[in-house]
Every structure is written in structure tokens, then in C-alpha cells.
């Protein structure tokens, strides 16, 4: 019962391995519970590292006494801001130079939120480390704090970042980490000419990633004294670069299996702490966050507010969109500018036929947990406001929202000026949309959902109300002209190939789909591709697993490398067989000549190793895209509202997705299903709450609810027939887009059911209940 | 204190600290499939079978399992291959990051012993305490219902 290679069969596009639901290459290890995660295989003599965290939202450390902790038996070291390099950096694991401000130190004299790091303790075991934490005496000068992001720019708000080293922040004296604005056409003028307009303000929450595996890393000096860091990260190469910036040391960063990330592991959390300890003591060091630390002291989604104004003519032509926002980056500016810009750049081009469009606003610091990258990366926040507003316009016009949104959305062969105006932290790139099946998504999706029939149904019956909502979305595939992926392929004399990629499989299945791409291009089978990913000493560079880039960028790099390897094989075979290259072709792991002679890959590399023109066949290719082809999606939601309690249940959620070719359909489906569940969480349950002193009270799975199995009723996923010419075998991205639609689709369904427009996610049952009471339709 | 218990059929006698939880003991013994997800009995990643019943090892005192039998996911596969539950999950794409899967397998095994004919609702209810952040649950539920059907129709 081994994990089997797929059967050889050619589908109608002619793919042998691509577009097949082959088993995950790491599936056997994962289902059998092998020790493949970071904390499963740390060195026996590793010190346990624990972090002392601030109890205050905003304070200066006046005095810190570590002497008692240091004298405790079994404590190896206690490090404070005096003991670590004072190098300003950003934890955001982005390309260099980072678009996020440099506003962070490994440890600082000032703490900026409850949970900020104060000291690093390393001890022989966890018990001693925890005991030592209690023995550290800290005198704080407590400062005024600002927790509410809508008050971060108030005249009397305390300045959170007054350190002289800060760079790259827009106006830190007024707590503004980033600012952006752009206008194409004149939105005020266009709005004044519209027959119907809508204006509203919408809020989205500071959702937690809540990946099942908490943040974890260990570090050690290898036998030659070289620093090695094993870490649960999405960005091993960025970790290497940032560790070098802080500590001035070269290192090797190894990424094992990752227990989920969703953007939460795109930041440098634990790596700096274990490195500090290993460099100080020379010993292996291991740090695993508790669930509470993962909740309170890592990252959240950026909480955002958008004021949206839209207008259309009486024929239902959308004329103008204005999105003006405010984003909360928390205590540090990780991904501050870029997530904010994506709220516009990955939403506005969808409605490319408008005469005027404006987008802008501030990203502010507050004394709360720092926000960071989170699947969707601003797009779910922006789309909640925009799609809700378009739903309102459709109702005002008396149009079916599917018809209204479809009429105004982008099509194949078209472009949007927004592509050029807005990139990530800088100007974007022009692009023509080469694949867009949004009509199929909307029309076929409506049929499968039974949209038209359902909308004729009675909405309120007894103590239940039912409603139907639709939302449209787009995303991107990579950050154009920035994201780079590399792939190396080495041929072995047993007919196998080592595929080495910097791409980071964090549970998404990227190792598997990259192997499929390589197998397809090399005319071989999955079992002949041995994937090794993300070890900075061994694999080529890759920016990492984020920005929906792996399938597209790393996939294209893998395809390029495999195609080059195919050429190398043909060239070698031509020499051995004394034939012209043009007369040879690859099939089923062999080179065939026109006269029927053949050589297996194994025979070719064996000859090359030992007897003929001796050499190792190996190729490395890199890929950078000048465009970022958007996937598209239309989602339909049916909700049931309990009029006695205000509880909302999503009883049916149908996604119709255009992600180009699905390299592995079952894994692609899993990406959409998983994103939908996270989106339902954001729409109905997930939000962090602080007490008046800034302590997060939602710090575990009891107080911070993520969807449980019982909360997900029926999620359906369909894929459009689509082929992206610039993608590897026609593929675009699929991992993020699924999070963009649940918020607006569910909110629109609630409006359809009971006529209440939801302006704030999550939609809490008690809040909805009070609205039902006000409207006189609550069951009392 | 000394405690003796069996894990996957193998007997262990261990010296434990006062108040030591089974999750730590098992991981120290090398059963690394048992995962540390929350420490507050709220995620299910540390689930193991205690005399056949699923329990959360993060809140089970090791002292309390003296003389009892523990089963972890390590017992579900061998050199011959995977168990049918593991295969079913794999084939349905129900394993993404895989961190929750060991706890899911031991719990699903107990479910199918108690109820060989579960509906989707039964699966959702029984496994409601096994959180997963990757899959959105649907593929896991499908895999388990499908497997139960296959078992009843005479497959392994």
C-alpha cells in the first residue's frame, strides 16, 4: 500500500501528469505522523528559549534586573536590550529592499504592546526557563497608549515610534506608518453625474492566522561552527538575509514541513531569539511559542475601515469607485503599505469600465499586536467594502446583483489602468488580461446554485429567515517584476531527477505540484521526481511562499528548468546514438529516434557518468514575471438566520473559480475550501478584543473562535475551463482568492434575507439580533 | 513517581514529574506524532486513544494512565503501508499541512468503531473537537464517510 504514482494516461489537453489529482509527495510522512515538523527533531542538548513579555501596552523599561534569574541553576543566559545588537529592521519577510518601515529591534528599551518582547531566557528545560522569567525584575515607566486605530492620529495620541533609527515610515510623529493615494479621472465630478449612488463605511477585523502548528525554530552551530536555523517559515531566504542584517553572521536556513502559515509565517518571529542564544552560548537553542503567544504576540490581519462611494447610470453602468481607507498595523509596520495597497490593486481592476477611480488613506500604528501578511493580504478587506456597495447599487437599480456585477467586470483582452498605477508598495505594471472566465463563473455558478429559482422563494418563514448573496473577486499571481523563483534539476543514473526548489511548501502541496510540472515537461512519472525544498545551502533562491506566487513563479521556474533538462537529455542522446537532435523525441522516460531505437534516461546518465563524454546533467533556471495574471471567482451564499437569536448559518456556499489549469485538481479544491472556511470565520466569528489596558482577552481557542467542523455546512467548488498563456501549463494562482468572497457574499445574503446591511465583520449574532429587533422582525 | 503503561503495544515504565501530562511524556518517549497545538484542550491535535477511546493527551495526567493502553497514529502504519483511514484521507486531499492529522486519525478510528455507518452530520459532531485550519473540513468529512461506505461494502 505504498503511495502510488499516477497511472499514465493522456487527457484531452494532452497532459500526462498535470491536471491530475496525484497524491501529495509528502502525504505518506504526514498521515503516518512521522517526525517532520520543527519541534519533532531538535537536538537533544538544545536549550529551551522563553520570552519575557510586556504587561503594558506602552512603556519604557527604566530598569531591568536579571541577576536572580541568571543565578538560577540551569539558566544558560538572560538577554535584554543591552545584550543584543541595536539594529533596526522589519520582521516582515519581504524582498529587499523591503517596502515595510524599519521600526523594530530584537529587544528594545521601549515596549509598544502587551506581549512585546522584553527579555530572552535560555535554560536547560522549560520548567527552569519559566521559573527564570518570574525572577526578572523590570521597572516600567508606563506611557499613555492608543488601542483604537480610529484615534491613532488624534492630536493627543502618544507617539509610538519616537526612536531616532526609524526609517521608511511615512509620518511616525503622527503614528502614520504608511500613506497612499491615487486618483484616475475625477471621482467627485463623476459621482455628481450618476443616476444612482451609494456611500457607506465598512470595517473588517484583526483576524488571527491560527495555524495549528505554533511558531517554532531551533538553531545550532554545525561541526564547522556555521550557524544553522531550522524554522517553520514561509521565507527561508529572507530569514537568512534578515538574520545577517541583525547579527552580522552568515547562516543556513532549513525549512522542514510547516504546520500551516497563511502568511503568519512570512515574518521573522522566533528565529532572532534562538540565534541570539546560540551565538551567545554556542549551544543549540529551541523556541516554540505557546498558543497564547501565537495569538497575542505574532501577527494578525490588518484591521481596516473603508469609506466607499460608488455610482452608476440608470442602465446599470458603473461609472465611479472611491475607496478611502484606514488600516491598523499595530505596534510595528509589517506589511503596512503593501497590504493596504492590495486592498485596492486586487479589487479595483475587476471593475475596469469606470470613468473615475480613487483609492487611498493611512496605515496607522497603535499599541496592539502587530498586523502582518495574511492570506488575501488586504483584498478581503477592500472587497468587503466594494462588493457590499455594489450590491446596494444593484438593489437601488432594481437589477440582479449577478447581472450588475458581471456587466461591469473585466473581460479577456481588456486591461485596467489600475494595474499600472498600483503595485505593491510602488507603481505596478501594465497588463492585458489573457485569461478571464468570469462570465462562466457567474452564469454557470448561478445555474448550479439555483440562484434565480432561490431568489423567488419566501425569505421569512416562522422563526427563520433565508437569504441569497453573491460576491465577485480577483487576486493576482505573484508580485510582478519582483518575485523570483529558482529551480535546479539534476539527473541521476537510476532515471530519477532531483528537483531542488526554494519554494516553500507550507501544507499547500507546492512540492507536489512542482514535481508534477517537472514530470510533465520531462516526459516521466511522479515517482521519478525527488523534490527537496527550501534549504538555503542547497536549493536555489525563491522569494518564498506568499503573494499567490508559488504555482505561477516557482512553477514557471520549474518548467523552464525541466524543459532545459529535456534539451540536455536530447543533446546527450544524439551524441550517444549518433543521430541529429531534431530526429529524437522524449516519451515515457526514454529518448526515441525515428527508426525506433531508444535509450532510457537511466542508460543515458549511466553512460555519461562512466563511459561516454563524462558529465553530470544538471540545470538551474530562474523565473520572474512581468505580469501578475489574476484568478477570478464568483461565490454564492445561502444563509439561514435564526430570528430568535440572530445566529447566522451558512448553509450553502458555492465557489466557481477561474485559476487557469488546475495542476492538481484535488489540491486546488482544498485550497478553495480551506480559504472559504477561513473567510466564513472572518465573516461570522473571528475578532480580537482587548481590555482597556491593551491586554488581549481573546488569547486561546475558547475565547477566539475559529470555525469548527460543525460550523461548515456545505462548501462547493467548481473550476472554469481556463488556460493562462503565461502560466506553467496554463496555471494561475488559487490559494488566496477564496478568502475574498465569504465576507461580502454572506453580508449580501443577510441583506437579501432581512434587509439589514452589515457594515462590520464579524457579524455577531447578538449585534444582528438587536438590528432585527429594531426592524421589528426579531422573534421575541 | 514511576508509571507503567503500554503505547502501541509496547510497555514503558517512566519516571514522571508531579502533574506531568501525557502529551509531554509521549513526546519524550519519541511518539512525536502527538502534537502540541494549544495546551488548553481546545484543538484536538494531541488526541490519542486511551483503552480505545479518544482523549486529549495535553490535559490527561500521565499518572492516570498507569496500567492502561495508549494508541497513537504511529500504530496505524507499518512497512507494509498505511491503514485504510490514512489512505482515505490522502486520496481525498484531506491532508494539507498535516499537523492535525494524527489526532484526526485516532479520533476517526474510534468513531468508525462506535458507528460504522456515520452520516456527514455524525462525522462533524464526533470530530468537532479536532480543529483544522487548512482544509475547511469538507474533504476530511468526505473521506471518512466514503471509507465507512467502502468498509461496509466489503472493502478492507
pLDDT in tens, A427-480: 999 999 999 999 999 999 999 999 999 999 999 999 999 999 999 999 999 999
Q: Under 8 Å CB-to-CB from A531, ≥6 apart: which residues?
A: A25, A499, A500, A501, A511, A512, A514, A515
Looking at the structure, tell me whether residues A746 and A729 fall in a common domain. yes
Q: Are A114 and A295 in contact (CB under 8 A)?
A: no
Look-up of cell digits 501528469:
A17
CB contact under 8 A, B99 and A37: yes
The C-alpha of A24 sits at a distance from chain B's nearest C-alpha, in angstroms, of 8
Q: Which of A624, A650, A668 is a domain's end point?
A: A624
**Which residues on neighbouring strands pair with residue A111, listed in sequence order?**
A59
Q: Express as a percent the part of chain A with pLDDT over 90.
A: 97
- Measured over all CA atoms, what is the biggest interatomic distance in chain B, rounded to whole angstroms? 49
Q: Which residue of A has its CA nearest to B125?
A: A710
Phi/psi at A231 (5° precision)? -150, 145
Domain presence at residue A211: no
A528-558 pLDDT per residue, tens:
999 999 999 999 999 999 988 999 999 999 9
Looking at the structure, tell me whether residues A425 and A513 fall in a common domain. no
Q: Under 8 Å CB-to-CB from B38, ≥6 apart: which residues?
A: A291, A700, A701, B45, B58
CB contact under 8 A, A32 and B82: yes
d(CA B156, CA B154): 6
Q: In chain B, what residues touch A27 (CB-CB under 8 Å)?
A: 90, 95, 98
Query: Mind spelling out the 3-state secondary structure of A62-107?
Result: EEEECHHHHHCCCEEEEECCCCCCCCCECCECCCCCCCCCECECCC
Q: Are B100 and B45 in contact (CB under 8 A)?
A: yes
d(CA A84, CA A276): 7
Q: Which of A624, A647, A679 is a domain's end point?
A: A624
d(CA A472, CA A633): 6
Q: In chain B, what residues touch A1 (CB-CB under 8 Å)?
A: 80-82, 87
Looking at the structure, tell me whether residues A331 and A381 fall in a common domain. yes
Mean pLDDT of A741-763: 98
Q: Which helix (H) or strand (E) holds A328?
A: strand A318-330
The C-alpha of A713 sits at a distance from chain B's nearest C-alpha, in angstroms, of 9
Q: Which of A236, A219, A232 is nearest to A502 (CA)?
A: A236
Q: In chain B, what residues touch A32 (CB-CB under 8 Å)?
A: 33, 73-74, 76-77, 82, 86
Looking at the structure, tell me whether residues A338 and A443 fall in a common domain. yes
- At residue B154, the pLDDT reads 78
Q: Are B102 and B49 in contact (CB under 8 A)?
A: no
Q: In chain A, what residues touch B129 (CB-CB under 8 Å)?
A: 708
Q: A112-122: b or e for each residue (b if 16 or more CB lie within 10 Å)?
A: bbbbbbbbbbb
Q: Are A290 and B39 in contact (CB under 8 A)?
A: yes
Looking at the structure, tell me whether residues A354 and A396 fall in a common domain. yes
Looking at the structure, tell me whether residues A598 and A648 fall in a common domain. no
A600-646 pLDDT per residue, tens:
999 999 999 999 999 999 999 999 999 999 999 999 999 999 999 99
- Tens of pLDDT, residue by residue, chain B (156 residues): 999 999 999 999 999 999 999 999 999 999 999 999 998 999 999 999 999 999 999 999 999 999 999 999 999 998 889 999 999 999 999 999 999 999 999 999 999 999 999 999 999 999 999 999 999 999 999 999 999 999 999 754
Q: In chain B, what residues touch A37 (CB-CB under 8 Å)?
A: 32, 35, 99
The C-alpha of A37 sits at a distance from chain B's nearest C-alpha, in angstroms, of 8
Q: Under 8 Å CB-to-CB from A450, ≥6 apart: which residues?
A: none
Phi/psi at A683 (5° precision)? -75, -35
pLDDT band at A335 (very low <50, low <70, confident <90, very high): very high
* β-strand pairing of A715-719 with A648-658: parallel
Using a 10 angstrom Cβ sphere, with 0-12 exposed, 13-18 middle and 19 or more buried, the burial of residue A564 is: middle
Q: How many CB atoms lie within 10 A of CB A535?
A: 17
Statement: residue A65 has pLDDT above 60: yes
Phi/psi at A78 (5° precision)? -130, 120
Q: In chain B, what residues touch A685 (CB-CB under 8 Å)?
A: none
Statement: residue A526 has pLDDT above 90: yes
- At residue A4, the pLDDT reads 39
- At residue A9, the pLDDT reads 38
Q: Which residue of A has its CA nearest to B80?
A: A1
Q: How many CB atoms lie within 10 A of CB A252?
A: 17
- At residue A13, the pLDDT reads 59
d(CA A506, CA B98): 10
Looking at the structure, tell me whether residues A463 and A316 fall in a common domain. yes
Look-up of cell digits 497564547:
A292
Q: CATH number of the domain at A265, please.
A: 3.90.1170.50
Indicate the angle between helix axes B84-91 and B138-152, nearest 10 degrees: 130
Nearest CB to A33 within list B33, B139, B141 = B33
- At residue A8, the pLDDT reads 37
- Alpha-helical regions (H) of A490-554: 510-521
d(CA A520, CA A8): 11
Q: CATH number of the domain at A559, please.
A: 3.30.365.10
Q: Which residue of A has its CA nearest to B44?
A: A212
For residue B139, the number of C-alpha atoms closer than 13 Å in the C-beta half-sphere is 30
Q: Find residues 35-94 of chain A whose CB sits inside 8 Å of chain B.
A: 35, 37, 39-41
pLDDT band at A388 (very low <50, low <70, confident <90, very high): very high
Q: Are B16 and B54 in contact (CB under 8 A)?
A: no
CB contact under 8 A, B137 and A712: yes
Q: Find residues 588-617 of chain A whose CB sits inside 8 Å of chain B.
A: none
A244-296 pLDDT per residue, tens:
999 999 999 999 999 999 999 999 999 999 999 999 999 999 999 999 999 99
How far is residue A162 CA from its own chain's centroid? Answer: 31
CB contact under 8 A, A666 and B40: no
Q: What is residue A545's DSSP assignment?
A: S
Looking at the structure, tell me whether residues A340 and A473 fall in a common domain. yes
Looking at the structure, tell me whether residues A665 and A620 fall in a common domain. no
d(CA A311, CA A504): 43
CB contact under 8 A, A32 and B93: no
CB contact A378 to B (< 8 Å): no
Q: How many CB atoms lie within 10 A of CB A697?
A: 11
Q: Which residue of B has its CA nearest to A716?
A: B138
Expressed as residue numbers, the domain containing A402 is 303-479+627-775
d(CA A117, CA A457): 56
Q: Which of A624, A657, A692 is a domain's end point?
A: A624
Statement: residue A6 has pLDDT above 50: no
3-class SS of residue A424? coil
d(CA A338, CA B8): 50
The C-alpha of B60 sits at a distance from chain A's nearest C-alpha, in angstroms, of 18
Q: Are A474 and A737 in contact (CB under 8 A)?
A: yes
**Which residues on neighbouring strands pair with residue A312, listed in sequence order?**
A196, A318
CB contact B112 to A (< 8 Å): no
Q: Which of A506, A533, A532 is nearest to A674 (CA)?
A: A506
Q: In chain A, what residues touch B39 (CB-CB under 8 Å)?
A: 290-291
Domain presence at residue A293: no
CB contact A709 to B (< 8 Å): yes
Mean pLDDT in chain A?
Answer: 96
Looking at the structure, tell me whether residues A456 and A597 fall in a common domain. no
Statement: residue A240 has pLDDT above 50: yes
Radius of gyration (Cα) for chain B, nearest Å? Answer: 16
Looking at the structure, tell me whether residues A337 and A311 fall in a common domain. yes
Mean pLDDT of A383-401: 98
d(CA A563, CA A693): 59
**Which residues on neighbouring strands pair with residue B70, listed in sequence order?**
B7, B50
CB contact under 8 A, B74 and A32: yes
Number of domains in chain A: 3
A652-695 pLDDT per residue, tens:
999 999 999 999 999 999 999 999 999 999 999 999 999 999 99
Q: Express as a percent the part of chain A with pLDDT over 70.
A: 98
d(CA A441, CA A341): 26
CB contact B107 to A (< 8 Å): no
- At residue A424, the pLDDT reads 84
Domain presence at residue A128: yes
Domain B77-152: give its CATH superfamily: [2Fe-2S]-binding domain (1.10.150.120)
Domain presence at residue A309: yes
Domain presence at residue A176: no
Q: Residue B14 corresponds to which cell in the numbers above?
A: 517512566
CB contact A10 to B (< 8 Å): no
Domain presence at residue A182: no
The C-alpha of B90 sits at a distance from chain A's nearest C-alpha, in angstroms, of 6
Q: Where are the domains of chain B?
A: 2-75, 77-152
A337-349 pLDDT per residue, tens:
999 999 999 999 9
- At residue B155, the pLDDT reads 57
CB contact under 8 A, A674 and B133: yes
d(CA A683, CA B128): 20
- At residue A779, the pLDDT reads 85
CB contact A666 to B (< 8 Å): yes
CB contact under 8 A, B97 and A257: yes
Nearest CB to A257 within list B42, B86, B98 = B98
CB contact B138 to A (< 8 Å): yes
Q: Which helix (H) or strand (E) holds A438?
A: helix A438-449
3-class SS of residue A347? coil
CB contact under 8 A, B136 and A712: yes
Q: In chain B, what residues touch A511 (CB-CB under 8 Å)?
A: none
What contacts 24+ positions apart, CB below 8 Å, involve A221-227? Answer: A221/A278, A221/A282, A222/A252, A226/A250, A226/A251, A226/A252, A227/A251, A227/A252, A227/A275, A227/A278, A227/A279
Interface test with A, best of B93, B125, B132 (most A CBs within 10 A): B93
Check whether the bond before A569 is cis (ω within 30° of 0). no
CB contact B77 to A (< 8 Å): yes
Statement: residue A416 has pLDDT above 60: yes
- At residue A2, the pLDDT reads 38
Domain presence at residue A180: no
The C-alpha of B32 sits at a distance from chain A's nearest C-alpha, in angstroms, of 6
Q: Residue A512 corresponds to which cell in the numbers above?
A: 507536489
The C-alpha of A202 sits at a distance from chain B's nearest C-alpha, in angstroms, of 26
Q: Under 8 Å CB-to-CB from A106, ≥6 apart: which residues?
A: A84, A85, A87, A117, A246, A272, A273, A276
CB contact under 8 A, A673 and B135: yes
Q: In chain A, what residues touch B128 (CB-CB under 8 Å)?
A: 708-710
Q: Residue A111 corresponds to which cell in the numbers above?
A: 515596549
Q: Which of A118, A139, A135 is nearest to A69 (CA)?
A: A135
A505-514 pLDDT per residue, tens:
999 999 999 9
Q: Residue B34 corresponds to which cell in the numbers above?
A: 502527538
Q: Residue A518 corresponds to which cell in the numbers above?
A: 517537472
Check whether the bond before A97 is cis (ω within 30° of 0). yes
- At residue A780, the pLDDT reads 75
Q: Find residues 27-66 of chain B whose CB sits inside 8 Å of chain A.
A: 32-33, 35-40, 42-43, 45
CB contact B102 to A (< 8 Å): yes
Q: Residue A305 corresponds to which cell in the numbers above?
A: 475601515
Q: Residue A255 corresponds to which cell in the numbers above?
A: 525549512
Looking at the structure, tell me whether residues A603 and A633 fall in a common domain. no
ipTM: 0.98
Domain presence at residue A500: yes
Q: In chain A, what residues touch B137 (CB-CB under 8 Å)?
A: 673, 677, 707, 709, 712
Q: In chain B, what residues touch A674 (CB-CB under 8 Å)?
A: 96, 133-136
B2-75 CATH: 3.10.20.30
CB contact under 8 A, A507 and B130: no
Nearest CB to A32 within list B39, B86, B97 = B86
3-class SS of residue A217? strand
Q: Which residue of A has its CA nearest to B94?
A: A670
Interface test with B, best of A709, A711, A713 (most B CBs within 10 A): A709
Q: Which of A712, A729, A715, A716 is nearest to A659 (CA)?
A: A729
Amino acid at each position: 500500500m505504498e503511495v502510488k504514482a499516477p497511472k499514465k494516461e493522456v487527457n484531452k489537453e494532452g497532459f500526462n501528469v498535470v491536471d491530475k489529482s496525484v497524491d501529495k509527495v509528502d502525504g505518506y510522512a504526514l498521515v503516518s505522523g512521522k517526525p517532520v515538523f520543527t519541534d519533532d527533531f531538535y537536538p537533544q542538548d538544545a536549550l529551551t528559549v522563553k520570552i519575557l513579555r510586556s504587561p503594558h501596552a506602552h512603556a519604557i523599561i527604566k530598569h531591568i534586573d536579571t541577576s536572580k534569574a541568571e543565578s538560577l541553576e540551569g539558566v544558560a543566559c538572560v538577554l535584554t536590550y543591552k545584550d543584543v545588537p541595536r539594529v533596526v529592521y522589519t520582521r516582515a519577510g519581504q524582498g529587499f529592499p523591503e517596502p515595510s518601515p524599519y521600526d523594530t529591534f530584537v529587544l528594545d528599551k521601549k515596549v509598544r504592546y502587551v506581549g512585546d518582547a522584553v527579555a530572552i531566557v535560555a535554560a536547560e528545560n522549560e520548567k527552569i526557563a519559566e521559573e527564570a522569567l518570574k525572577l526578572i525584575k523590570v521597572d516600567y515607566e508606563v506611557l499613555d497608549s492608543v488601542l483604537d486605530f480610529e484615534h491613532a492620529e488624534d492630536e493627543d495620541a502618544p507617539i509610538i515610534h519616537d526612536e531616532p533609527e526609524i526609517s521608511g515610515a511615512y509620518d511616525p510623529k503622527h503614528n502614520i506608518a504608511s500613506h497612499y493615494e491615487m486618483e484616475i479621472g475625477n471621482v467627485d465630478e463623476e459621482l455628481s453625474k450618476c443616476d444612482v449612488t451609494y456611500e457607506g463605511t465598512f470595517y473588517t477585523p484583526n483576524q488571527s492566522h491560527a495555524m495549528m502548528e505554533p511558531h517554532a525554530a531551533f538553531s545550532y552551530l554545525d561541526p564547522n561552527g556555521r550557524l544553522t536555523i531550522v524554522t517553520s517559515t514561509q521565507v527561508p531566504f529572507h530569514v537568512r538575509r534578515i538574520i545577517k542584517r541583525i547579527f552580522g553572521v552568515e547562516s543556513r536556513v532549513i525549512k522542514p514541513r510547516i504546520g500551516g502559515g497563511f502568511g503568519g509565517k512570512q515574518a521573522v518571529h522566533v528565529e532572532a531569539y534562538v540565534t541570539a542564544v546560540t551565538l551567545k552560548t554556542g549551544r543549540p537553542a529551541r523556541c516554540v511559542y505557546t498558543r497564547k503567544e501565537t495569538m497575542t504576540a505574532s501577527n494578525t490581519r490588518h484591521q481596516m475601515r473603508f469609506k466607499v462611494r460608488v455610482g452608476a447610470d440608470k442602465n446599470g453602468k458603473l461609472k465611479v469607485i472611491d475607496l478611502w481607507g484606514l488600516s491598523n498595523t499595530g505596534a510595528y509596520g509589517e506589511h503596512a503599505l503593501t497590504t493596504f495597497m492590495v486592498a485596492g490593486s486586487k479589487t479595483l481592476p475587476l471593475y475596469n469600465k469606470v470613468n473615475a477611480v480613487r483609492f487611498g488613506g493611512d496605515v496607522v500604528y497603535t499599541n496592539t499586536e502587530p498586523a502582518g501578511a495574511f492570506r488575501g493580504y488586504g483584498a478581503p478587506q477592500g472587497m468587503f467594502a466594494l462588493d457590499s456597495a455594489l450590491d446596494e447599487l444593484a438593489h437601488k437599480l432594481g437589477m440582479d446583483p449577478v447581472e450588475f456585477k458581471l456587466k461591469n467586470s473585466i473581460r479577456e483582452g481588456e486591461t485596467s489602468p489600475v494595474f499600472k498605477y498600483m503595485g505593491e508598495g510602488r507603481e505596478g505594471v501594465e497588463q492585458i488580461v489573457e485569461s478571464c472566465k468570469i462570465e462562466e463563473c457567474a452564469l454557470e455558478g448561478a445555474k448550479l446554485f439555483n440562484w434565480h429559482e432561490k431568489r423567488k422563494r419566501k425569505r421569512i418563514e416562522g422563526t427563520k429567515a433565508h437569504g441569497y448573496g453573491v460576491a465577485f473577486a480577483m487576486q493576482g499571481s505573484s508580485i510582478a517584476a519582483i518575485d523570483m523563483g529558482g529551480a535546479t534539476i539534476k539527473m541521476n543514473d537510476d532515471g530519477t531527477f532531483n528537483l531542488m526548489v526554494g519554494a516553500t511548501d507550507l501544507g499547500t502541496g507546492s512540492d507536489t505540484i512542482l514535481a508534477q510540472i517537472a514530470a510533465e515537461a520531462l516526459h516521466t512519472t511522479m515517482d521519478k521526481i525527488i523534490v527537496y525544498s527550501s534549504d538555503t545551502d542547497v536549493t536555489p533562491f525563491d522569494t518564498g511562499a506568499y503573494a499567490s506566487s508559488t504555482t505561477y513563479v516557482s512553477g514557471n521556474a520549474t518548467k523552464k528548468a525541466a524543459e532545459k533538462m529535456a534539451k540536455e537529455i536530447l543533446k546527450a542522446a544524439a551524441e550517444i546514438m549518433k543521430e541529429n537532435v531534431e530526429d529524437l523525441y522524449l516519451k515515457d522516460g526514454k529518448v526515441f529516434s525515428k527508426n525506433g531505437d531508444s535509450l532510457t534516461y537511466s542508460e543515458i546518465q549511466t553512460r555519461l557518468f562512466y563511459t561516454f563524454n563524462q558529465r553530470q546533467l544538471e540545470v538551474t533556471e530562474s523565473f520572474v514575471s512581468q505580469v501578475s495574471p489574476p484568478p477570478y471567482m464568483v461565490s454564492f451564499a445561502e444563509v439561514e438566520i435564526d430570528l430568535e437569536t440572530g445566529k447566522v448559518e451558512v448553509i450553502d456556499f458555492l465557489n466557481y473559480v477561474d485559476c487557469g489549469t488546475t495542476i492538481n485538481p484535488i489540491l486546488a479544491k482544498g485550497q478553495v475550501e480551506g480559504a472559504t472556511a477561513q473567510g466564513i470565520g472572518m465573516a461570522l466569528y473571528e475578532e480580537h478584543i482587548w481590555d482597556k489596558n491593551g491586554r488581549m482577552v481573546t488569547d486561546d481557542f475558547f475565547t477566539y473562535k475559529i470555525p469548527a467542523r460543525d460550523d461548515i455546512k456545505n462548501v462547493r467548488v467548481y473550476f472554469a475551463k481556463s488556460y493562462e498563456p503565461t502560466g506553467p501549463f496554463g496555471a494561475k494562482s488559487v490559494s488566496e482568492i477564496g478568502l475574498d468572497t465569504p465576507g461580502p457574499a454572506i453580508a449580501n445574503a443577510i441583506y437579501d434575507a432581512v434587509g439589514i446591511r452589515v457594515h462590520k465583520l464579524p457579524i455577531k449574532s447578538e449585534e444582528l439580533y438587536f438590528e432585527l429587533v429594531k426592524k421589528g422582525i426579531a422573534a421575541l | 513517581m514511576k508509571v507503567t503503561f503500554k503505547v502501541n503495544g509496547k510497555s514503558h515504565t517512566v519516571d514522571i514529574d508531579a502533574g506531568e501530562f501525557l502529551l509531554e511524556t509521549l513526546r519524550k518517549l519519541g511518539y512525536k506524532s502527538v502534537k502540541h497545538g494549544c495546551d488548553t484542550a481546545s484543538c484536538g491535535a494531541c488526541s490519542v486513544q486511551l483503552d480505545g477511546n479518544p482523549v486529549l493527551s495535553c490535559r490527561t495526567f500521565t499518572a492516570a494512565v498507569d496500567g492502561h493502553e495508549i494508541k497513537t497514529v504511529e500504530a496505524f502504519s507499518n512497512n507494509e503501508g498505511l491503514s485504510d483511514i490514512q489512505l482515505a484521507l490522502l486520496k481525498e486531499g484531506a491532508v494539507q499541512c498535516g499537523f492535525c492529522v494524527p489526532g484526526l486519525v485516532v479520533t476517526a478510528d474510534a468513531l468508525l468503531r462506535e458507528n460504522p455507518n456515520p452520516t456527514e452530520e455524525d462525522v462533524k459532531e464526533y470530530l468537532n473537537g479536532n480543529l483544522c485550519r487548512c482544509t475547511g473540513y469538507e474533504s476530511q468529512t468526505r473521506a471518512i464517510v466514503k471509507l465507512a461506505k467502502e468498509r461496509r461494502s466489503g472493502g478492507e
